[in-house]
Amino acid sequence: MTDFTQFPPSFTWGVATSAFQIEGAWNLDGKGPSIWDTFTHTPGKIIDGTTGDVACDHYHRYPEDVAIMAGLGVDAYRFSMAWSRVQPQGKGAWNEAGWDFYDRLLKELESKRIDAHITLFHWDLPQGLQDEGGWLNRDTAYHFAEYAAEVARRFGNRVKTIATHNEPWCTANLGYGNAQFAPGVADLKQSVQVSHHLVLSHGLAMSAMRKVGSTAQLGIVLNQWTADPATDSAADKAAAEFEYSRSVEWFMDPIFKGKYPELALKVYGDNGPVVQDGDLAIAHQKIDFLGVNYYFRSFCSTETPPRQPEFKLGKTDMGWEIYPDGLTELLLKLNATYELPPIYITENGMANPDSLVNGEIPDTARIDFVQRHLKALNDARLQGVNIQGYFLWSLLDNFEWNSGYAKRFGIVHVDYQTQKRTPKHSALWYRDYLIQQRARNSANAA
């Protein structure tokens, strides 16, 4: 694909990571254990039997990683903080050594003029809170708000944005719905209740951070997709409507409309959440930005076995259909349904079976993937969706949750034995793409 899509000069270009996937140093300098430390140390939970104990050793190698970002020419870096690094039990005493790490990381980014975009929670709940019920315990939402306020108090004037959650759908449905992710529970009723506590915690954290008075833009990051029926059958259409309701609308409606979607509530029935008076008013408050993570669409079939899409553009190493049109469709649908703040595409990328070839990593499939999704993104922007930036997932190959180190999403290859970083062809392409963007914008302004 050779299309070159032009974005405005104000558009933010970034890369993204998450704490547990890259930091390592799982028990150093006073850090407490998280549910993912516990999960990965439990035999049989991770496909390749690995842990995040070292991961990419970003805790020690962050100067090198920030230098790589600077070399790519990105404007921004989106990363998450490990809650148990700064508050080992998830409540009570703060760990100053943990805060010092993030202070050093921010200073490194500031020295390279790279904006920081922080995510407060990317699935790694402190084990101390899990021991008291985790997200199933309503109190966790209030502890989260206290943590959010402290981050905003310390760093809120040094970062561009703060997102409360990354993909709460995954926390609820993969952590509590099918036991694929930590803490490893498979119970529909619990997963639905957890999702409500996550929504509540978002609202509580927004209020707590606003009281601190930081200058950061505040929002949330949601993984979203269109849901398409596999056929024109009534059953497939109904399955698609419910899938969209239980995934996209389930989190968007409380935040933007102050209620849960009727279809999902009806289907859940007795498995619906316990909602206390005032909860949805807490969730339903203005946010400064919405982060959208897009990887694939949902293709809904009620046949046995389920009918598969045509995979016209192939699939990623995760087995996910490559479907860039779904990004345009999703953004236009959201824009027509909700009164949206500015949007960042906070994650988009692909797992690819990359390998070194004469010291290089020719990941042409990833370049094609990103190009197609940037065109799809711009198509939505040109049709009126207020999109302010794009963060490529991920900067580094890293610990890919229950897949361990078997799946590589990075534009920078990591040799996990030596920790050597090698930019892939996609990283070099991204660098050159940003150079072209800026050159054309400068020429147009002249």
Which amino acid is present at 51? T
Mean pLDDT of the chain: 98
Q: How confident is the model at residue 172 (pLDDT cuts 50, 70, 90)?
A: very high
* Residue 254 to residue 199: CA distance in whole angstroms: 7
162-171 residue pLDDT tens: 999 999 999 9
Peptide linkage before 168 cis (omega within 30 of 0): no
The whole-number pLDDT of residue 215 equals 96
How far apart are alpha carbons 224 and 169 in whole angstroms?
A: 9
C-alpha distance across the termini of the chain, in Å: 29
Residue 417 pLDDT > 90:
yes
Around Cβ 305, how many Cβ atoms within 10 Å?
Answer: 6
How many other CB atoms sit within 10 Å of the CB of residue 229? 21
Tell me, what's the pLDDT at 2? 57
Radius of gyration of the chain (CA): 21
Coil vs helix vs strand at 78: strand
Q: What is the pLDDT of residues 387-398, one digit of tens each?
A: 999 999 999 999
pLDDT at residue 3, as a whole number: 65
Fill in the amino acid letter for 266.
K
d(CA 402, CA 399): 8
* Each residue's pLDDT tens digit, 70-109: 999 999 999 999 999 999 999 999 999 999 999 999 999 9
pLDDT, residue 445, reads: 86
Catalytic residues: 167, 347
Task: Summarize the confidence of residues 218-223 as an average pLDDT.
Answer: 98
- Does the predicted TM-score (pTM) go above 0.95? yes
Least confident of 2-16, 202-216, 341-355: 2-16
**Sign of the dihedral through C-alpha 237, 238, 243, 245:** positive
Paired strand residues for 298:
227
Label residue 446 by pLDDT band (50, 70, 90): confident
Q: Which pLDDT tens digit goes with each residue over 238-290?
A: 999 999 999 999 999 999 999 999 999 999 999 999 999 999 999 999 999 99
Q: In this predicted model, what pLDDT tens digit does every residue of 106-115 receive, in sequence order?
A: 999 999 999 9
Question: Facing residues of 15 across strands?
Answer: 77, 392
Q: Residue 378: pLDDT above 70?
A: yes
Asked if the model's pLDDT at residue 4 lies above 80, the reply is no
Could you tell me which residues come within 8 angstroms of residue 439 by beta carbon, excluding any fewer than 6 positions away?
none
Q: Establish whether the linkage from the previous residue to 305 is cis, with ω within 30° of 0.
A: yes
Per the structure block, which two tokens stand in for 251? 């989190």
pLDDT tens per residue, range 290-312: 999 999 999 999 999 999 999 99
Q: Give per-residue pLDDT as tens, 120-147.
A: 999 999 999 999 999 999 999 999 999 9
Instruction: State how beta strands 289-293 and 421-423 pair.
Output: unpaired
d(CA 286, CA 294): 23
Structure token digits, residue 401: 């949750």
What pLDDT does residue 429 have? 98
